[in-house]
Each structure stands twice: as structure tokens, then as C-alpha cells.
Structure 1
């Protein structure tokens, strides 16, 4: 799954990237606290959804991904409570988060391979590029404060490796078609997470 995800990056973003960089100049990257709050709220909705689905485990393999140490819901709840204490108004979830949450719910009931693709991409992307973006946004709008969203208990590389091993064990029981189907879902995962990420600039 990592190989397919990396190919969807540009050459500037990852050495395995195959997409051409956008030739039109991007607007100056100016995150706002309002946009960042929308991003955090929508992200929390997505993590709430993912974590509820693996707890409920409509398919037995979902139970493998409980209590991995990568969970982000509780950390985001703490961050939003802290931001509220600082006097910020916490918005309701917006359309990108609501759409993605509904899509994950639907997949989780009918399409475990596609759901696991989203699970993988959401947690692993946050642990990599997500942390870098978080640092840059914090410098601009939070005086450099590091949120709980970007902290993990324990060694992150070990937590990721453990989940990677579980994913490989689950996928061993899939047919070639099911494996391909899982990989084909990567682009949709990028589309949904990209829409939530863009809220930072809204």
C-alpha cells in the first residue's frame, strides 16, 4: 500500500512520486486559525469514525486494529478543549469531514478491503506529512505550540511497524483481486483527505 500511496505524490514530495508538480503558481501558503480549527474538527470526525468502526468490527479483521497506539481521537478532543480555553470558537464539522465519515461508514459495512486502505492511508499519512504540516501551521497560527494530535505514547516507528505487520497478516487471506481492489482505493483516500487538508487555508 505504501508503494501505491507514494506514487500519488509529486516528485518533489517523495522520491517514488510520479505525479507532475502543479505548474500554475500556488497562492502564498497562509493558514488561518479559523481554517485550522475546521481542519481539526473534521479530522476528529474522521478519526472518531475509524475508531468506532474498528471497535464495532463488522468484519472480524477490523478488531486487529484496536488499541494500536496510533489512535488520534482522544488527542484531538484535548486539543479542541485547549483551543476553546484560549477563547477560540469551535466550529461544527463541515462538508469534507461529513462526506468522508459517511463514506467510511458505508465502506466498512460492505467493502473491508477498501476500508482498510483508508484506515492505512489516514493513520500513516498523518504520522509522516501530517506532522510536518502541523509544525508549519503551529508556527504560523499557534506561536509554535505542538498539539497533542502530533504526539504519540511510545516509539512511533515501532507503533507503525506493528500496524504494518497486522495489515500484512490480514491481507494474506485476500485473493489477488481483493488486494488489487484495496490498492485501487488509494486515490479516493487521497481525494478525501486532501479536501480536509485544504480547510487549513479556508
Structure 2
């Protein structure tokens, strides 16, 4: 999954990237002129997506989802603390917007009907945040929050080891899949980038 995901990045994002920047929105993201209101929308929608992922693995419509409980990558509790901090600073916390609500619904549907596709989204959401997400967090904090580091960008434990543990579990689960199921999982990568990108662009709204 990593190989496919890296190809969908631009060369600016990673040396393995092959995607060209064509859309006006993507050009804007590269220049990063965030606003507090937009950043709050991004955090709220992100929390809805992470809430959904954590609820799905807790419910475990497919037994192997339970393998991904308590990985150390969970973000819901961290985001709740960050949003509470913004509230204490006097900001009004918005309701989830269309990108987050739509993605949450898609994740719910996939988790119940298409586990291979769901696992692709699960992987890309968590792993993208651990990489590019950290870079974005530092940049936004520097521009808007007087360099305050939000909980969203902190992990309990060594992040590289937490990621490796999840990779190992993903590989173990995928061992039982057919070649068609593995290919189907990989084919979902572009859709996961699309939905995550729509949430990311809220920062610029």
C-alpha cells in the first residue's frame, strides 16, 4: 500500500512522488495561507473521521478489525483535547462540514460491505497524518498559534515503532486475502487521497 500511496504524492511531497500538480486547490495548498476558522473546520472534520475509524474497529463487523484496536495511533482523544483548548481561548467550535460527514459515511459503508477497501482508507488516513500531517501541523502552529504544539501531533511512544506494529498487523491480515482482494484494496488508494484532501483543504477556507 505504501508504494501505491507514494506514487500519488507530488515530487514536492516525496522523492517517490509521480503526481503532477494540476488543480488550483492543490496549488493553493502548496502555498499554505491558513486561517484559524479553516483550521478549526479541519480539526473538527478530522475528529469525526477518527471517531468513525475507532468506532468501526471497536464494533468489528469483520473480526480482523479488532486487530487494530489500541494501536497507539488513535487521534480522537487528542483532538478532543485540542478542540477544548481552542474553546478555552474563546473560539467557537464549528459543526462537522460536508467533507468530514461524507467521508465518515463512506467509511461506515465500506467497513460493513467492503473490508479490503476499508483497510486501504484506514492505512492511508493514519499513515498520512503521521508523515505529511506533522509537517502541516508545525507549519500551521508557526503561523497561527505562536508555535503551540497541538496534541493531534503528539503520540505516546515511539511513532516509528507504532507505525511498524500496524504495518505488521496489516500484512498479517492481508496474507489471507486473494490476489483479487489485495488488488482491490490497492485500487482504493486514490479515493482515500481524494476524501482526505477535501478535508485538508478546509484549512484554507
Change over 3 Å in CA distance of 1:117–1:23 after alignment to 2: closer
Equivalent in the alignment of 1:172: 175
Work out the CA distance in 2 between the residues paired with 1:127 and 1:32. Answer: 22
Change over 3 Å in CA distance of 1:95–1:23 after alignment to 2: closer
Is 1:12–1:21's contact at 8 Å kept on the other side of the alignment?
Answer: no
Change over 3 Å in CA distance of 1:14–1:185 after alignment to 2: same
2:50 is aligned, of 18, 43, 47, to 47
For normalisation by structure 2, the TM-score amounts to 0.96
2:159 is aligned, of 145, 150, 156, to 156
Report how far residue 22 of structure 1 moved. 3.6
Equivalent in the alignment of 1:90: 93
Change over 3 Å in CA distance of 1:23–1:190 after alignment to 2: closer
Moved over 3 A (4+): 21-28
For this pair of structures, how many residues does the alignment match? 202
Equivalent in the alignment of 2:6: 6
SS in 1 for 2:110: helix
Report how far residue 20 of structure 1 moved. 1.9
Equivalent in the alignment of 2:18: 18
Is 2:48–2:101's contact at 8 Å kept on the other side of the alignment?
Answer: yes
Report how far residue 23 of structure 1 moved. 8.6
Is 2:21–2:27's contact at 8 Å kept on the other side of the alignment?
Answer: no
Work out the CA distance in 1 between the residues paired with 2:112 and 2:20. Answer: 35
Instruction: Give CA-to-partner distance per residue, 1:15-64, whole Å, 9 cap, x none.
Output: 21111234979345210000000000000000000000000000011000
For normalisation by structure 1, the TM-score amounts to 0.97
Root-mean-square deviation (CA), in Å?
1.3
SS in 2 for 1:17: coil
SS in 2 for 1:26: helix
Is 1:11–1:21's contact at 8 Å kept on the other side of the alignment?
Answer: no
Is 2:43–2:79's contact at 8 Å kept on the other side of the alignment?
Answer: yes
Work out the CA distance in 2 between the residues paired with 1:134 and 1:63. Answer: 29
Work out the CA distance in 2 between the residues paired with 1:26 and 1:116. Answer: 29
Question: Please, which runs of 5 or more residues in structure 1 have no aligned partner?
Answer: none
